[in-house]
Structure 1
Amino acid sequence: MRDLTAFPRHVLGFTFQVSIQRKLWTTTQSSFKGTHRLNRISNTIIPRRLNFLVGSPVETNCGVHYFSFLEFFMSSEGSQKKDKRPFFAASFQLYKQLTNRATLLYPIWTLTASLLALFRPSLFNRISSQSISWALSVLMFSVGSTLSLKDFVPVLKSPLPVLLGFIGCYILMPFLSVFISRFCGFHYEYYAGMILLGCVSGGQASNLSTYIAKGDVALSVAMTTISTLASVFMLPTLSKLFLGTVIPISVVELSKSTAEVVLAPILLGMFLHSCFPKLMYVLEPALPLVGVVATMYCVVGALSKVQNLILNSAGVLFLPVMLLHFVGGIAGYYIPKCLGLNEKVCRTLSIETCFKSPALSYVLAIKHFSAFGVRMPSAVSILVLAPLAAFYSVILRFLSVKIEDN
């Protein structure tokens, strides 16, 4: 290609147009030493737009000269700033699709992590209990980063489903865990672990299970968030009520730990979501996947440390833990059904009731209970909850298809 400086100056340059709300102005630079013209073209209302048209000279083998033009443009309509650049828009769309599909495989990732922790525990020897607590905080942060105050507006408009979910989480499940523990005749360590599991807040993966089951995802997010925030007060109170005569519990220390692990990361995420919306808009598609990775870290860290005890206590704890989640899910579905709530709300309440946060109960068991057996029900719940919830969600999804066809 010939040297660009050999071309006439009037062929090298660029043009751009700026259109504003009421007036369209065109500025043209015809050469590097050329003159500038600013002309008012119209007084019509058109969308705001910024165009760049760049021309570069090209010489063929036959000696023919022509110009290759490349146009870049950005525009916005109304108050919505939409990036119209094809490459960046397509890349961001691909990024959202990949992270969404990876997140939907959450049950598979969790089951794989559980099997690795059970049969190859040596791979995770370096994972400490403190790092599990940090991973749980990252999970809570990923939840809070997708929330804003306006997400709680539907709760004020329709409080009954949220109230039923709160009752299911902090009344039904704790009493159900007490009943199952006493019926099975657990000693004080397993009993305390079951009570702790029944008193913790709902699990964050319930939102994904609700989506798979064709429930009300917005309601699920609101219920999970409210139960998580309320755990700072409800968990110490219920633990003192049910375990105070069995194992000494410091309500203040338990509240402090819950606030550090749960409340602070969620509030930090909400703060960033409100103060840096553009940054969070870019990060938001990946945040659920970050939560999945943090959950997997908690899974392998918890199970690898109690692998021998889990395999040895399979006949003792597996059935009671599964029964706790299963009966909670059934009760969470039929109680709202009897109250006349619609199908989507019933499914959401069912999943929110049966879904607990075993990673949180495991971390709290490590921090506040010296007895090793207290963490065992939580570890078993980590192992069985993800496959059970995934299976339950898929069944509800197929039932939804049949109902819609009929």
Structure 2
Amino acid sequence: MTGFEKFVKFVTKYVTLWVILCAVFAYFVPTPFKPYGGTIPWFLGIIMLSMGLSMTPNDFKLVLTRPKDVIVGIVTLYAFMPLVGLGLGTIFNLDPMLTVGLVLLGCTPTGTSSNVMTFLAKGDKALAVTVSSLSTIVAPVVMPMLLLFYVGKYLPIDAVGLFMSIIKIVIIPIALGLLIHKFFEKQMPVILKVVPLATVAAIVCIISVIVALNVERLQAVAGMAALTLVLYTGIGLAIGYTVARLLRMKAPKRKAMTFIVGVQNTALAVTLGITYFDPMSAIPGAIGVVWTTVFCSFVASLWGNKTEDAAEAAPPAQGTAH
């Protein structure tokens, strides 16, 4: 492993630490970051480009071989999570823009980090990858419709503008990444070594700018917003697991479903919140970047270790007589 590869591995391993450190710095020294609010869609584009570079046609083959599993994952995500956000906002009587932010987060597709969580938990990674990819591709149509239905009473929703924005900052970068992957296949091993570093840098930049733009708002609502995000994530994980259990899915699928529903594209929620609604609506997504990564990584690690322990405890298989 080269020095650069070791550096990338170190940076990606401690991404949560960098996010926390930069968020704290931006909170206490916000001025340098404030002029860069307009760059957030570009940083999200980098994240989506990275996703496209990491995707292959195989990521979609489950649609043909296991359509039921894929449909269940996507429908569960989009049917339940906006309701969870709206319900928590109503129960805690949150500021309307915080409620909008929670619903916005609930309307976002599965985050690519769900694939990592599923891998750590020794779940069905193919299912996680397919659902995260397809839920992202259908997002330009699904998200504006859900937002119009759930939060139209709080503020006017520019459904067409949202559709075009998601196409520009999500679909086009992913498509570009897929094209690069196809036409520069020989160079992909080198390109993919840089992709994780670019993704981490983009996430850190997004969070730093959002925190800087919301210092005063965070002082007023940080505690309540953090509490609702803790509940939101826990409920999302529980819904994913419960639906899979009710449908009698096997353990690897149950693990994948847990993270498919509980881990969403927080960066997209942040970007759309600050672009189309109000800076306060970006706070749930900003907190979610940190909390979802920390908590879900912990759950996935426990699950993965438990699976290993169970495998070690199982008696060795008996060979058949010849």
Code of the aligned partner of 1:202: T
| TM-score (norm: length of structure 2) | 0.89
TM-score computed with the length of structure 1 as normaliser = 0.72
The one of 252, 257, 261 aligned to 2:169: 261
Q: Select the residue among 99, 106, 113 that pairs with 2:8.
A: 99
Tell me whether 1:404 sits opposite 2:311 in the alignment: yes
Question: Structure 1 vs Structure 2: percent identity of aligned residues?
Answer: 25
Quote the Cα distance in structure 1 between the aligned partners of 2:147 and 2:106.
10
C-alpha root-mean-square deviation of aligned residues, in Å?
Answer: 2.1
**Matching residue within 18, 27, 39 for 1:118:** 27
The structure with more strand, counted as a fraction of residues: 1
Checking the alignment, whether the CA contact within 8 Å between 2:16 and 2:290 is kept in structure 1 is no
5+ residue gaps, structure 1: 1-89
Aligned-partner residue type, residue 179 of structure 2: F
The aligned counterpart of 1:272 is 180
> Could you say what secondary structure the match of 1:356 adopts?
coil
> Mean alpha-carbon deviation: is it higher for 352-361 or for 100-109?
100-109
Could you say what secondary structure the match of 2:134 adopts? Answer: helix
Residue 60 of structure 2 corresponds to which residue in structure 1?
A: 152
Question: Would the aligned equivalents of 2:62 and 2:70 in 1 still touch at CA under 8 Å?
Answer: no
Q: Which residue of 2 aligns with 1:193?
A: 101
Which residue in 1 is equivalent to 2:84? 176
* AA partner of residue 30 (structure 2): P
Residue 269 of structure 2 corresponds to residue 361 of structure 1? yes
Following the alignment from structure 2 to structure 1, what is the Cα–Cα distance between the partners of residues 307 and 295?
Answer: 18
Structure with max Cα Rg: 1
* Structure 1 runs (4+) greater than 4 angstroms displaced: 94-98
Residue equivalent to 1:386? 293
Q: What amino acid is aligned across from residue 348 of structure 1 in structure 2?
A: A
- Cα distance in 2 for partners of 1:122, 1:317 equals 23
AA matched with 2:169:
V
Q: 1:243 to 1:330 in 2, by over 3 A?
A: same
Q: Distance in 2 between matches of 1:121 and 1:397?
A: 39
Q: Does the CA-based 8 Å contact 1:135-1:298 persist in structure 2? A: yes
The one-letter code sitting in structure 2 at the alignment partner of 1:153 is K
Q: Following the alignment from structure 1 to structure 2, what is the Cα–Cα distance between the partners of residues 404 and 177?
A: 38
Query: Alpha-carbon deviation of 1:248?
Result: 0.9
Per-residue CA deviations over 1:262-303 (Å, capped at 9, x if unaligned) read 000000000111111112232123213321221121121212
Secondary structure, aligned partner of 1:121: coil
Task: Point out which structure has higher relative CO (alpha carbons under 8 A, 6+ apart).
Answer: 2
Which residue of structure 1 aligns with residue 282 of structure 2?
375
Inter-CA distance 292–219: structure 2 relative to 1 (3 Å threshold): farther
Which secondary structure does the structure 1 equivalent of 2:115 belong to? helix
Q: Which runs of 5 or more residues in structure 2 are unaligned?
A: 314-322
1:142 to 42, 46, 50: 50
The answer to whether the 8 A contact 2:229-2:287 is kept is yes
- Matched residues in 2 for 1:311 and 1:349: separation? 35
Give aligned pairs, total: 313
Shift of residue 165 of structure 1? Answer: 1.6
**Correspondence for 2:252 among 331, 338, 344:** 344
Distance 1:394 1:120 in 2: 34
Shift of 1:237: 0.5
